[in-house]
Homo-oligomer: A and B are copies of this chain.
Amino acid sequence: MPATKHWTFEDFEPGQEFVLGAKHVTEEEVIAFATQFDPQPFHLDHAAAEKSIFGKLAASGWHTCSMMMRVVVDNLLSHSTSLGSPGVDEVRWIKPVYPGDTLTVSYYTKSVRASQSKPDRGVVVSIWKAVNQHGDLVATVEGMGMFGRRA
């Protein structure tokens, strides 16, 4: 359980996987995010969404990533030597995320690499998965995170 200790680079081991936490998605949040960042009709308006490939009002993919990030921060990064990230790869929006859904976010450590040039840190490649209340995998993010090493 990540939150029970302060994680440093050395604590990450390829193959480890844990559930971090969950996020309930509200219609108010979906519309607020879309209004600010992704004002496409299927993220804003019920009638337009019904005519779209989503079938009903669906969250922006960037909102889904941001909600996943919040779960990762609260349950892992805030209890770690996180130094930020140079980027992410393979963000996949696999199924729509709807208001009323509850997303459970898990963290899988794919690989670790100590920095050659900066001996005080290393990069962890992780795969985050979000599963909804029906057990459907709705989104994945393969991310790089920099973490400080133990002194």
A67 sits at the interface (CB 8 A): yes
A53 touches B91 (CB 8 A): no
Total interface residues on A, CB under 8 Å, equals 35
Separation of A85 and B59 alpha carbons in the complex (Å): 12
The SS class assigned to the A binding surface is mixed
A65 sits at the interface (CB 8 A): yes
A90 touches B93 (CB 8 A): no
B92 touches A90 (CB 8 A): no
Within 8 A of B (CB), among A38-60: 38-40, 42, 52-54, 60
Report A's interface with B, CB cutoff 8 A. Answer: 33, 36-40, 42, 52-54, 60-62, 65-67, 69-70, 73-74, 77-78, 82-94
